[in-house]
């Protein structure tokens, strides 16, 4: 029986002629795919790091953070899936070799609108482990999607790429300046140092164990709660620290803040930024304010940090906030329902 021709020899010859040196080692002299023989290469220590990102809505991020997904532990399952995928990369990618991996690590960083994934693979062998690391990231991302698709179907798996590789004749490669993706994409987080309320306007707030945030209103039981754009006030503790040389007895609530935080430059957040605070969610509506004439701090020192450093928010999802909780920047592009900056009005 005559062998069936698949294309002419001329195009194959042209493809083969266009290949110079080792430009395409997975192509044979006929221009067709082959598995490269690495038997003559020396065995060296190999390492590769890859990364990716699963972009999702803030409410879906919160499910990951709190363990509220219907299918269970999202990151725990994704980690195992990524490790398993790295070990079986040769079965998924046709021309990959079966590599005896000596180590696989899959790491995650939650925040800023999604989950950052990083996979590191190691071996001692004749060929590198870049594909194993990339496969681990890809399958971990797919697993995160599968675990959360009941909650959100328009998640995006993106930016899957190699960050680092070392070992082998081609030398080392570092695409991140020594910083991992989990470091670069680490969420911006502050810690709540105190939560405060005042039952009457015109009085200093005082610390409480916890505050309840109510959508459309603000802090339950606070005199400034209401259907307006300044339902919750936040102030960085770093700003209060700058006043302690003059007023060493300053206490939480003295600047009329509901939430005293440490770790974020709050005034740098744009109007519209979505914040997760405790179990609640806020949207920034105003940066700073005009200090009213009867401000006690301003009278004593000639300045007040709330007008310069404080921010104001509305509550978009109810919940509880207490000292020790985190305030996490979720996204900076949410609709703000009208932004304000240093607007007058008593607080």
Catalytic residues: 146
- Burial class (CB within 10 angstroms; exposed 0-12, middle 13-18, buried 19+) of 102: middle
Q: Which residues of 132-158 are buried (b: 16+ CB within 10 A; e: fewer)?
A: bbbbbbbbbbbbbbebbeebeeebebe
Q: Extract the tokens encoding 299.
A: 């009278």
Measure the CA–CA gap between 86 and 80, rounded to whole angstroms. 10
Measure the CA–CA gap between 47 and 252, rounded to whole angstroms. 49
Q: Extract the tokens encoding 246.
A: 């003059």
CA atoms within 13 A on the CB side of 130: 16
226: left (phi over 0), alpha (psi -120 to 50) or beta: left
Measure the CA–CA gap between 326 and 347, rounded to whole angstroms. 25
């Amino acid at each position: 029986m005559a062998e069936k021709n698949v294309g002419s020899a001329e195009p194959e010859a042209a493809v083969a002629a266009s290949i110079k040196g080792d430009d395409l080692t997975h192509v044979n002299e006929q221009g067709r795919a082959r598995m490269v023989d690495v038997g003559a290469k020396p065995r060296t220590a190999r390492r590769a790091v890859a990364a990716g990102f699963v972009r999702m809505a803030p409410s879906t991020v919160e499910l990951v953070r709190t363990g509220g997904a219907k299918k269970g532990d999202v990151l725990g399952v994704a980690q195992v899936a990524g490790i398993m995928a790295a070990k079986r990369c040769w079965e998924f990618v046709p021309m990959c070799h079966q590599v005896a991996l000596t180590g696989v690590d899959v790491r995650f960083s939650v925040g800023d609108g999604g989950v950052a994934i990083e996979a590191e693979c190691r071996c001692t062998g004749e060929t590198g482990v870049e594909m194993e690391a990339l496969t681990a990231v890809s399958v971990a991302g797919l697993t995160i999607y599968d675990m959360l698709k009941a909650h959100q179907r328009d998640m995006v798996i993106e930016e899957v790429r190699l960050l680092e590789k070392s070992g082998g004749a081609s030398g080392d490669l570092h695409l991140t300046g020594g910083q991992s993706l989990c470091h670069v994409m680490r969420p911006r987080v502050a810690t709540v140092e105190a939560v405060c309320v005042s039952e009457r306007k015109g009085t200093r707030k005082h610390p409480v164990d916890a505050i309840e945030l109510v959508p459309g209103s603000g802090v339950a039981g606070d005199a400034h709660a209401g259907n307006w754009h300044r339902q919750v006030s936040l102030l960085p503790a770093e700003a209060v620290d700058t006043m302690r040389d003059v007023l060493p007895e300053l206490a939480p609530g003295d600047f009329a803040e509901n939430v005293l935080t440490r770790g974020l430059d709050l005034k740098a957040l744009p109007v519209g930024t979505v914040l997760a605070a405790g179990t609640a969610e806020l949207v920034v509506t105003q940066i700073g304010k005009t200090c009213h004439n009867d401000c006690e701090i301003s009278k004593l020192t000639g300045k007040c940090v709330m007008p310069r450093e404080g921010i104001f928010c509305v509550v978009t999802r109810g919940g509880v906030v207490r000292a020790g909780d985190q305030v996490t920047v979720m996204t900076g592009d949410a609709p703000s329902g009208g932004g304000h900056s240093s607007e007058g009005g008593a607080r």
